[in-house]
Amino acid sequence: MNNISLQQAPFDTPAYEGTVLPFDARTMTLPYADYIELKSEASYWKAQHARVIVREEELKEQLKHKEAIIRDLNQRLYGKHSEKGGSKTEPNSNDKVGKSTRSKGQQKGKAGPGRTKRLNLPVIPEIIPLSETACGLCGLEYSLLSSYEESDIIEVKVATHVRRIKRQKCAKNCTCTPGSKIITAPVVPKLIPGSPYGNSIWEEILLRKFLHAQPVNRTLNDFTSLGLDVSPGTIAGGLKKLTPLFVPIYKAFHQQQMIENKFHNDETRWEVYEQVEGKTGHRWYLWVMQSVSVVFYRIDPTRSADVPIAHFANLIAKVVIIICDRYSAYKYTYGV
């Protein structure tokens, strides 16, 4: 009961006398415990082999990814640039034959273009008086001339100040009209009523952030250097209050684009650090739809074709020209 015997073919038959049995016809006898141990080890090593195969495939994928990154970085660093003025290979001695030795920039002996005239800048006269108006030896007074020696200096003066508004009040001396007897001049209009910051502050914030692409924190540092400390939270809250003022402009841009028929479309990922129910991660997408007169941006959590479909839902033209990459979302949008 403790031994197991495996036999694939009889050995006492004359057919096998004096012959060598094939491998699959040989038999052996071993204890049952050894048989169980061998089966267990075989199962163990089969499982290990399967794990190694899976691990090998994972490493191959990682290697492919890293090789792709290396190829991209090598192309950026050492590859030729197609843009004008991009990197070029070093010319050999034969390439220099016949090339001009003329140096760059303004050439000696040639008349320069002169200073740029800035006719749009206001001119503030400033008179510099003479330190001496009489001869130092005889004391005779100099005759003052009506002409001046003129020269221009361009300056930029930025200063922070407080506008102390004093609204005039008066008291009525009659009873012709009902209401208060005190009449006060109207309040100075501001973008954000009740805010201590005037329109020029918000103008600087908007221009620097959206026109010059300067971070708000850097703008606040500039304000600090001018003696004005503003909390980042105040600016963030103020920008939220200003957002509704741009909705009519936003809609007008969209309506203008809907009457055009030639577009450039593209999209790129855009990190938005906002928690959205049902969405994992912070990857959003910035969509751009450029026409002849409008560049329109949309930020959306998805890269779905629903985004351009919704944007072009009110398109008037029946035939349009779209210049884009091969992303399939644009095919659904225009029914290609």
Per DSSP, helices labelled H in 126-258 are 199-206, 216-225, 232-242, 247-257
Q: What is the DSSP letter of 318?
A: S
Per-residue confidence (pLDDT) for residue 336, from 0 to 100: 47
pLDDT tens column, 211-266: 999 999 999 999 999 999 999 999 999 999 999 999 999 999 999 999 999 999 99
pLDDT at 17 over 60: no
Residue 158 pLDDT exceeds 50: yes
| Torsion angle, alpha carbons of 132, 135, 139, 143, to 10 | -80
- Which residue, chain included where needed, has tokens 């290990």? 48
Taking a C-beta distance cutoff of 8 angstroms, is the pair 301, 284 a contact? yes
Say if residue 316's pLDDT is above 70: yes
Under the banding of pLDDT at 50, 70 and 90, the label for residue 96 is low
Report the C-alpha gap between 330 and 307 in whole angstroms: 10
pLDDT digits (tens, 9 = 90+) for 118-130: 777 888 888 888 8
Q: What is the pLDDT at residue 279?
A: 85
The two tokens of residue 19 are 């012959």
Q: Give the pTM.
A: 0.56
Residue with tokens 């950026």: 76
Contact 126, 149 (CB under 8 A): no
CA distance 115 to 48: 80
How high is the mean pLDDT of the chain? 84
How far apart CA 308 and CA 302 sit, in angstroms, is 11
Average pLDDT over residues 156-175: 88
pLDDT digits (tens, 9 = 90+) for 168-217: 999 988 888 888 888 899 988 999 998 999 999 999 999 999 999 999 99
Q: Which two tokens stand for residue 108?
A: 């000696």
pLDDT tens digit sequence for 48-61: 999 999 999 999 99
Domain ranges of the chain: 258-334
Of the candidates 292, 302, 285, which has an alpha carbon nearest to the alpha carbon of residue 323?
292
Percentage with pLDDT > 70 across the chain: 87
